[in-house]
Each structure stands twice: as structure tokens, then as C-alpha cells.
Amino acid sequence: MAGRTEFLESIRRRTQTGRYKPTRAPGVAWTPKSEPAGCEEIEDRPARFLEELRAIGGSGRRASSPEEVREYVVTLAREKGAKLLVRWDVEELDRLGVDDPLQQAGVEVAVWRDLEDFRAVAAGADIGLSTAEWAIAETGSLVLTSGLGRGRSVTLLPPTYVVVIAVERILSTVPDAIEKYAGDGGVPANVCFHTGPSRSGDIEMTLVTGMHGPGEVHVILVG
């Protein structure tokens, strides 16, 4: 019992503000003693987002009109030899009007609302298409929320993943994104931060792309 008491007391002592530091860490306090300084605002958020996205292996571009977006998606589908594209059932993609051009190009389009076993269909799709809640300039990340018409399978199972998002939805930093959900009582059941193509080094420390998610991520900034 004495050993257990000493162990718990050690945890309490080491986790007090400003006192804890991990094993082999430098001789400085790990827990900050004061609030971190505010993050610097990024002036050109779209440019910074695209720079960071490309640095982590993603592809990105800007489009000034829905026509440009449709052209990019159809061209990508042709380059990939895609037979099936699955997309979210959201108003933004309905307005985009990409379904007919894709079908004319020989690509079947499956929409969330039309499917009974969506995971099986998404697993067999060549491309997934969705929108995003937010994009984060400092990391090239996307913030996604799942829900009605917005299944996670679309963003995870197809080997190529395409996101369409307005430039107005780009935030500067991760704390800016967290702040959008903090304290309003309206946090979605599922919020995910996606940063570039899926990568894993679990096996023999060899980095493999596309192991646990899409191997390619394409982001189109509209506006």
C-alpha cells in the first residue's frame, strides 16, 4: 500500500503546473507557467495554405468559378481512369453541378443519399469528393465534420480524395479552428483534422503513403 501511495503522490507532485518534465527531457519545466503568446496573423492565408499542403505531399490550386472546379475534377478523373466517384450529399456540391460532366466522361457518381451500404461502395470508389468546414493555413490541414449526408467513408476509403472549399473558410491557425467550436455548446459528434495524404511508418520504420487513408489529396480553393 505504501508503494501505491508514494506512486500517486509522485504523480500529483510532478504534474503540478511548471514542475513536470518527461524522462530525458532538458532541465526546463515542461508545463508552461504562463499562457502562450498569441499567434501571428497570416496575411495571405490561401497562399500559405497551398504552400503547406504541397509541403506535406498534397495538391492544391485556386479556382475562380464553378466551371473551373468542374473542369479540374473531370480532368483528374480522366487522368486516374476513374470509374466511380462518391461524394457528400451537401448543397455546395449540388450547386457545383459536377455530376453530369463526370457521367458524360464515363464516371459513375454515387451520392450519399442514394446508397444503402455506403461503406462498401466508398471502398470500391476511385475518388471521394467532399467539402470541408475549415482549412488551416499554418499546417495545410482540413477540418471535417461528419453527419447527415457527410459520411467519413468518402474522405477515408477512396485512394484519391478531392476537397472543394471557399477561400473564406481558411483560418490562420489551429487555435483559430478550435475556437470555432469552443464554448458554444454546438460541438459536432465528430470533428477531424486531416493533414495531407495518409502516411504510416509502422512497419520497419518505412514510410508508406496511402496505408490508412487516401494516397492523394487534392484541395480546390474557390474564390
Q: List the Cα angle 44/48/50 in 5-degree steps.
A: 125
Predicted pLDDT of residue 98: 95
For the residues of 1-61, what is the DSSP string, one character each?
-HHHHHHHHHHHHHTSTTT---TT--SS-SS-SSPPPPPPPPS-HHHHHHHHHHHTT-EEE
Amino acid at 168: E
Q: How many CB atoms lie within 10 A of CB 35?
A: 6
Strand pairing class (160-166; 216-222) = parallel
Alpha carbon distance 84, 201 (integer Å)? 29
Phi and psi at 71, nearest 5°, equal -60, -40
Sequential pLDDT tens for the chain (223 residues): 556 667 666 666 655 554 444 544 444 444 444 545 455 678 899 999 999 999 888 999 999 999 999 999 999 999 999 999 999 999 999 999 999 999 999 999 999 876 677 888 888 999 999 999 999 999 999 999 888 888 888 999 999 999 999 999 999 998 888 888 876 666 777 888 888 775 554 555 444 444 455 789 999 999 9
Q: List the Cα angle 174/140/129 in 5-degree steps.
A: 110
Domains with residue ranges and CATH for the chain: 45-222 (3.40.50.10420)
Alpha carbon distance 49, 138 (integer Å)? 6
Predicted pLDDT of residue 198: 54
Alpha carbon distance 15, 146 (integer Å)? 35
Quick one: residue 132, left, alpha or beta (phi over 0 = left, psi -120 to 50 = alpha)?
beta
Q: How many CB atoms lie within 10 A of CB 59?
A: 17
Write out pLDDT tens, residues 135-179: 999 999 999 988 888 888 899 999 999 999 999 999 999 888 888
Alpha carbon distance 77, 108 (integer Å)? 11
Nearest to 82 by CA among 93, 73, 71: 73
